[in-house]
Amino acid sequence: MIRDDIKAATVTAMKARDSVRLGTLRLISAALKNKDIELRTGTPPADDDMLVADVLTKMAKQRRESIDMYVTGNRPELADAERAELTVIEGFLPQRMAAAEATAVIGALIEELGATGAKDMGRVMAALKARFAGQIEMSGASAMVKAALG
């Protein structure tokens, strides 16, 4: 489980006195705890690793946006700090699929669901996110699904 890996990495970072890694791991733990609290009122997810991957994906996206803003604002020291955090976060994300593999998965999913046109795009995207969260870039997958259905 990814949560166990994060806890083990936190202990290792504490022992190594790696303050940047430790700070990022604590941010990840806090974000996961917030998500757990948020889900207490709703239905719990079927797969905990998918929940963790979703949280990590959002954190990585936030870091990328911050890096762009800091570079634009001529703040390289802050951009470097965000890059260091992004490196730690991406270390726990599942491996991303290559474009060819993602296209094959999307084609198989469309065939499995019997999707025929643009009206089925929401259903395909929901199934794709449920099965492959964190493994496929959803913005790119949206364009692939649209092309496959169009």
Count: domains in the chain: 2
Specify the residue for token string 């290792």. Answer: 12
Domain with residue 136: its CATH number is 1.10.10
Specify the residue for token string 């990585």. Answer: 60
Domain that includes residue 44, residue range: 2-90
pTM over 0.85: no
Q: What is the pLDDT of residues 84-115, one digit of tens each?
A: 999 999 999 878 888 888 888 888 888 888 88
Q: What is the pLDDT of residues 38-89, one digit of tens each?
A: 888 777 666 777 788 889 989 999 999 999 999 999 999 999 999 999 999 9
Is residue 85 located within the same domain as residue 119? no
Distances (CA, A) of 108 to 6, 50, 67, 134, 141: 33, 21, 36, 18, 13
Which of residues 90, 122, 139 is at a domain's end? 90
Domain with residue 38: its CATH number is 1.10.1510.10
Residue 53 structure tokens: 């991957």
